[in-house]
Amino acid sequence: MALYFDVADKPKFRQLIAFAFQQMLAIIAATITVPMIVGHGLLPAAAMLGAGMGTIVYILLTKRKSPVFVSSSFTFIKSMLAAFTGGVSISLGWLGLIMGAALSGLVYVILGIIVKFAGVKWINKLMPAVVIGPTVAIIGLSLAGGAISNIVKGDVVWNTT
């Protein structure tokens, strides 16, 4: 049985708990996997802490109007790896990674301000669902080869403790 909610609808507390658990299970894989792929001392625990803090800040800033869980994104893996590859040392790689994250955040803030004043209709025209769906699929498919390669090479770190 599918449940549908409009933007202004408020699910019952029992449903919220179920939805939160479902969202957590869906997102936790990315939050743990991204640091494992990037490596260089990036820890899943740090990603979980950042995701939790980011979620709390997001919920407070949106006044609980948008139930979003902030998580790691596979979208930035190549740029994160490039930050370490292009750096002369690990510390410069970390600097590149932090600068890239800060600049990405700045882009999001600028877009948020534009959306606040201009609305979302321009986004729906620029990126309708028929464009967004295949884009997400392409990102996933482009990462699948790397994941299979890591498994075949044995580059995946499995923590058995």
Query: Looking at the domain assignment, is residue 130 inside a domain?
Result: no
Q: CA–CA distance from 62 to each of 68, 102, 120, 154 (Å)?
A: 10, 20, 16, 42
Tell whether 128 is covered by a domain: no
Tell whether 159 is covered by a domain: no
Residue 15 lies in a domain: yes
Instruction: Indicate the number of domains in the chain.
Output: 1
Determine the pLDDT at residue 154: 66
Please provide the average confidence, as pLDDT, over all residues in the chain.
80
Q: Is pLDDT above 60 for 12?
A: yes
| Residue 154 maps to a domain | no
Residue 159 pLDDT: 45
Give me the pLDDT at residue 106, please: 92
Residue 2: band (very low, low, confident or very high) from pLDDT cuts 50, 70, 90: low
Yes or no: say if 40 and 84 are a contact pair by the CB < 8 Å rule: yes
Domain that residue 41 falls in: 11-72
Q: Give residue 6's region: left, alpha or beta (phi > 0; psi -120 to 50).
A: beta
Q: HEC states along the chain?
A: CCCCCCCCCCCCHHHHHHHHHHHHHHHHHHHHHHHHHHCCCCCHHHHHHHHHHHHHHHHHHCCCCCCCCCCCCHHHHHHHHHHHHHCCCHHHHHHHHHHHHHHHHHHHHHHHHHHHHHCCHHHHHHCCHHHHHHHHHHHHHHHHHHHHHHHHHCCCCCCCC
| Per-residue pLDDT reduced to its tens digit, 60-77 | 888 877 767 777 777 778
123, part of any domain:
no
The model's pLDDT over 131-146, given as tens digits with 9 standing for 90+, comes to 888 888 887 788 777 7
Q: Is 16 within the bounds of a domain? A: yes
Q: Give the model confidence (pLDDT) of 24-60 as tens digits.
A: 777 777 788 888 888 888 888 888 888 888 888 888 8
More confident residue, 65 or 97: 97
Whether residue 46 is contained in a domain is answered as: yes
